[in-house]
């Protein structure tokens, strides 16, 4: 009897668990049920704000995964609108591309639909959309992509596909009477918009002024491009460019010749590449600096996106992400190539160290046994040493902050001759060192 009771209890537990699992699965909302539930919200917002109901529903389906996304379930945020500085309501944090980001929290879905309409209507980027017909859902979809609503370059195609598949354009014909007028603002007229741009350009202090040439635009930055190789000095003289700022904004070195068809940016580089430029395949001879210069993206952003340590170089054929974070870091160059790059980067340091060692070895004079008290040396001390019957040699003790050129000029001797007399290869000297000088 006891065993039968235990078996019955186990069967009942299994039945309860299966029913709970099926109930959890049933909670996931389908696209059709989402449309039925929220179509009235979209139509109401179309009448109030002038946004096509088909566009609102399609965006909600894509952004919230038909109401099943984390933001839609926990924060009633159906359009993935972030907090920004103007938001004063509750906040919800979720992962977005690179890091955990702040999103707006709503007490109910209707507030999310209202805020979505206000976000489009009050933003100057989207004002041109309100001049289109309410039934032109294709024009609205393309306009949203061009304005940068989403990073996906096929965002407009996705919206149109959802609208046509589920027949959402029929809700655009449900408006009665006149729709609200387009939002007023400086962006609504072309003349005012040009004036606004000119004012902002004058106010900006980070832009380099250029004369005798019209800059082009790339990645939202002003830049110069030449068909032939150009030296930085010729660019500075011909177009009166501030060379110090040019070196600051670009990965160039003083006296370098810029290759043809290279973008020379007149503004600080941006944090990511333009829309559509998602990744770059590394070619032979390319480095992180050349890729940064090619797309107008900050070098630190490229290292952060691709999970690389500062100074690492990707191998040929690897992909470097320009807008979003990569899933894993690319393969690095071979050890020999990496060492070669490090040697080039530290060429100046190694040269100075080698020069110091060379001077320490070859600056030992023949009169090594003779010692001179440094405390008594306040001025230049000279002692004559007869080397041959024909020539006489003086030895000079180097003082602090003196160079080989200043000593040669003082004694009317050529620098090369002075180096030859003392068997020196480098120009480095140190205080207290003895130099032989022919009279």
User: In CATH, what number is assigned to the domain containing residue 334?
Assistant: 3.10.350
Q: Count of domains in the chain?
A: 4
What does the DSSP 8-state code read for residue 399?
Answer: P
Whether residue 256 lies inside any domain: the answer is yes
Residue-wise burial string across 137-147, b where 16 or more C-beta atoms lie within 10 A, e elsewhere: bebbbbbbbeb
pLDDT at residue 199 in the model: 42
* CA end-to-end span of the chain: 124
Q: Establish if 18 belongs to a structural domain.
A: no
Host domain of residue 117: 31-174
Domain end residue (candidates: 265, 287, 303): 265
* Same domain assignment for residues 334 and 360: no
DSSP tally for the chain: helices H, then strands E: 16, 12
pLDDT for the residue numbered 319 = 95
- Predicted confidence at residue 165, as pLDDT, reads 94
Backbone φ, ψ for residue 224 (5° rounding): -110, 140
Choosing from 290, 323, 344, the residue where a domain stops is 344
The verdict on residue 20 lying in a domain is no
Write down the pLDDT at residue 170: 93
Q: Identify whether residues 222 and 159 lie together within a single domain.
A: no
| Alpha-carbon distance values, 258 to 75, 154, 225, 239, 255 (Å) | 52, 35, 10, 15, 9
How many angstroms separate the CA atoms of 85 and 261, rounded?
39
Q: What is the pLDDT of residue 22?
A: 45
Q: Please report how the helices 155-166 and 31-49 are oriented relative to each other, as an axis angle in degrees rounded to 10.
A: 110
The 10 Å Cβ neighbour count of residue 28 is 11
Mean of the per-residue pLDDT values of the chain: 78
User: What pLDDT score does 385 carry?
Assistant: 39
Looking at the structure, tell me whether residues 333 and 396 fall in a common domain: no
Interval 381-417: pLDDT, tens = 444 434 443 445 577 888 887 888 888 888 888 888 8
Residues 97 and 119 in one domain: yes
Dihedral through CA 407, CA 413, CA 414, CA 417, nearest 10?
-100
pLDDT confidence of residue 84 = 79
298 and 334 co-located in one domain:
yes
Query: Are the C-beta atoms of 117 and 56 separated by less than 8 Å?
Result: yes
CATH number for 397 = 3.10.350.10
The pLDDT of residue 112 is 94
Q: How far is CA 268 from CA 221, 238, 257, 264, 302, in A?
A: 8, 22, 20, 11, 15
Cβ(291)–Cβ(282) under 8 Å?
yes
138 in the same domain as 51: yes
Is the residue at 272 inside a domain? no
Same domain, 416 and 358: yes
| CA 432 – CA 318 distance, rounded (Å) | 54
Whether residue 257 sits in one domain with residue 220: yes
The residue among 234, 265, 296 that closes a domain is 265
What residue ranges of the chain have pLDDT lower than 50? 1-2, 6, 19, 21-24, 186-204, 364, 366-367, 369-391
Cβ within 8 Å of residue 134, ≥6 positions away = 46, 50, 52, 172, 175, 179
302 lies in some domain = yes
What percent of the chain has a predicted confidence (pLDDT) above 70?
Answer: 71
pLDDT, residue 181, reads 62
Q: Is residue 113 in some structural domain?
A: yes
Take residue 257 and report the two structure tokens written for it. 């010749």
Do 39 and 155 sit in the same domain of this protein? Answer: yes
Dihedrals φ, ψ of 265, to 5°? -80, 140
Is residue 215 located within the same domain as residue 321? Answer: no
Q: Which long-range contacts (CB under 8 A, 24 or more apart) does 354-358 make?
A: 354/426, 355/425, 355/426, 355/427, 355/428, 356/426, 356/428, 358/424, 358/425, 358/426
Asked whether residue 52 is assigned to any structural domain, the reply reads yes
In whole angstroms, give the CA distance from residue 439 to residue 95.
78
- Helix H segments across 99-249? 109-122, 137-146, 155-166, 190-203, 232-239, 243-249
Indicate if 305 and 376 belong to the same structural domain: no
The answer to whether residues 391 and 327 belong to one domain is no
- Does 273 map to a domain? no
Condensed to tens digits (0 to 9), the pLDDT of residues 100-145 reads 778 999 999 999 999 999 999 988 889 999 999 999 999 999 999 9
């Amino acid at each position: 009897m006891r065993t039968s009771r235990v078996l019955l209890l186990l069967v009942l537990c299994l039945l309860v668990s299966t029913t709970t699992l099926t109930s959890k699965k049933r909670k996931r909302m389908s696209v059709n049920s989402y449309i039925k539930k929220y179509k009235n919200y979209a139509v109401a917002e179309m009448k109030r704000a002038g946004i096509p109901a088909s566009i609102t529903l399609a965006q909600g389906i894509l952004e919230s995964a038909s109401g099943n996304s984390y933001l839609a379930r926990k924060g009633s945020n159906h359009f993935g609108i972030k907090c920004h500085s103007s938001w004063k309501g509750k906040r919800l944090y979720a992962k977005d591309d690179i890091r955990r980001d702040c999103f707006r929290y709503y007490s109910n879905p209707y507030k999310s639909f209202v805020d979505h309409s206000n976000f489009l209507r009050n933003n100057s980027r989207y004002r041109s959309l309100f001049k289109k017909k309410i039934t032109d859902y294709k024009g609205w979809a393309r306009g949203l992509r061009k304005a940068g609503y989403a990073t996906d370059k096929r965002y407009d195609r996705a919206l149109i596909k959802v609208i046509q598949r589920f027949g959402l354009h029929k809700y655009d014909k449900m408006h009665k009477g006149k729709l609200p007028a387009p939002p007023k603002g400086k962006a609504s007229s072309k003349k005012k918009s040009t004036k606004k741009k000119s004012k902002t350009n004058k106010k900006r202090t980070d832009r380099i002024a250029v004369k005798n040439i019209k800059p082009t635009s790339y990645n939202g930055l002003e830049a110069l491009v030449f068909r032939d190789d150009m030296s930085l000095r010729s660019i500075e003289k011909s177009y009166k460019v501030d060379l110090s700022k040019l070196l600051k904004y670009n990965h160039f070195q003083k006296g370098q010749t810029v290759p043809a068809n290279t973008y020379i940016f007149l503004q600080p580089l941006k944090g990511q590449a333009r829309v559509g430029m998602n990744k770059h395949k590394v070619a032979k001879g390319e480095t992180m600096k050349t890729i940064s210069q090619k797309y107008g993206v900050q070098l630190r952003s490229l290292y952060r996106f691709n999970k690389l340590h500062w100074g690492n170089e990707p191998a040929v054929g690897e992909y470097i992400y320009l807008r979003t974070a990569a899933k894993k870091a690319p393969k690095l160059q071979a050890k020999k190539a990496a060492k070669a790059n490090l040697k080039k980067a530290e060429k100046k340091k190694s040269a100075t160290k080698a020069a110091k060692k060379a001077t320490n070895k070859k600056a030992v004079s023949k009169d090594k046994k003779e010692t001179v008290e440094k405390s008594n040396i306040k001025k230049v001390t000279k002692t004559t040493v007869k080397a041959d019957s024909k020539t006489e040699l003086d030895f000079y003790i180097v003082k602090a902050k003196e160079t080989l050129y200043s000593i040669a000029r003082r004694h009317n001797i050529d620098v090369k001759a002075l180096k030859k007399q003392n068997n020196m290869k480098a120009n480095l000297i140190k205080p207290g060192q003895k130099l032989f000088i022919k009279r």
